[in-house]
Copies of this chain bind each other. A is one copy, B any other.
Amino acid sequence: MDQYYMRQALTIAQYAAGRTSPNPLVGAVIVKDGRIVGQGWHRQAGTPHAEIHALSQAGELAKEATVYVTLEPCSHHGRTGPCADALIQAAVKKVVVAMTDPNPLVAGNGLKRLRAAGIEVIEGVLAAEAAKLNEVFIKWVSTGMPFGVLKTAMSLDGKIAAHTGHSKWITGAAAREYVHTLRDTHDGILVGIGTVLADNPELTTRLPEDGKNPVRIIVDSMACTPLTAKVVTDRQAATIIAASAQAPAERVAALRSRGVEVLLLEKTPQGVNLQQLFKLLAERRITSILVEGGATINASVLAANLIDKVHCFIAPKIIGGKTAPTPVGGTGADAVDQCIMLEDIATRSIGADLLLSGYITGR
């Protein structure tokens, strides 16, 4: 039964997927005498935590009840005070958590406080599912780096465009809409200057219902982004230009005057120091970055070890062409057994296309 209720808590936690950043997704379910008497989930940073919602709904039925939370209750922050204290005050009997707080600074403190108050605590129920639910938050809070996600789309013969550069559209409408749901649930989106110059993209989320725009990040070592580019002019979302310290000062100034943030990073042979960039973005509470680059930028983020997860769309068509571009350029591995491996592959059909998703092995 513990797993049954925890699964319910995980389900309601997901209601807020993509909306709680930089906070984790958390769900709480309160059970009294074999019945659910309260449910809550965290909806947005700065609003009540899951436990507070659930306790409020349960009211006095929370007394002597068992509480299932997908994450260790906090012992510190939040406008509504520490959740551990709220649980103690509500006189619950038992708290079951899926996992402890991944923040190494506070991990275990909440559970300690509950136990000190005489509340029975059980840990680790559906821990793997909870860790998967918050893979982004865990990466960010435990390493200080954003969770990197690479999205590519290619033909059945590995091309992301025709040899002429023409690329509209490799995938069908359903797959392209799915990309917008990815944008909706990531904090940042990253492309190279090449993409901006070639396509002048908006890089926003366009969904039938509501959508949240990610922060737009342009890797542009020489600050070449045109002042007329949509990412500069449209004001739909924040834009960050990742330029190198060698970028012409007047371009930097011009961009900044348009309200665009320009970061001046260490220059590298390939452009800018991407690890430095990601670190700075993490400090700005950008916990996840969706990379939608061309072959070059994709190769760079992979080489810099910045990618955790890959979404690869495959369209059932053959474009052909010895010089047509592929999803990942650069030099590449020298031998097949030196390549980057993926694991936990999941496959799904989206319209006529296929989506393979997996995790970089060893991350």
Instruction: List 26 A-B pairs, Cβ < 8 Å.
Output: A34-B207, A37-B43, A56-B57, A57-B57, A152-B157, A155-B336, A157-B158, A157-B312, A157-B328, A158-B158, A158-B160, A158-B326, A162-B339, A164-B334, A302-B318, A314-B356, A316-B345, A316-B358, A317-B336, A317-B342, A319-B336, A320-B340, A321-B330, A321-B331, A324-B326, A347-B354
Q: Is A239's CB within 8 Å of the partner chain B?
A: no
- Of B59, B310, B333, which one neighbours A156 at CB under 8 angstroms? B310
* A320 (CB) vs chain B CBs: closest residue: B332
Per-position 1/0 for A193-237, Cβ under 8 A of B: 000000000000001011000000000000000000000000000
Nearest 7 A/B pairs, CB to CB: A158-B158, A321-B332, A33-B210, A320-B332, A322-B329, A34-B209, A157-B328
Chain A interface size band reads: 35 or more
Minimum Cβ distance to chain B for residue A357 (Å): 10
Give Cα distance in the complex from A356 to B356, angstroms.
12
Copies of this protein, total:
4
Give Cα distance in the complex from A40 to B318, angstroms.
41
Give Cα distance in the complex from A333 to B159, angstroms.
11
Does B318 contact A342, Cβ atoms closer than 8 Å? yes
Contact flag A342-B319 (CB < 8 Å), given A34-B209, A324-B332? no
- Interface set, chain A 274-330, CB cutoff 8 A to B: 295-296, 299, 302-303, 310, 312, 314, 316-330
- Of the stretches A111-119, A140-148, A166-174, A240-248, the one at the interface is A166-174
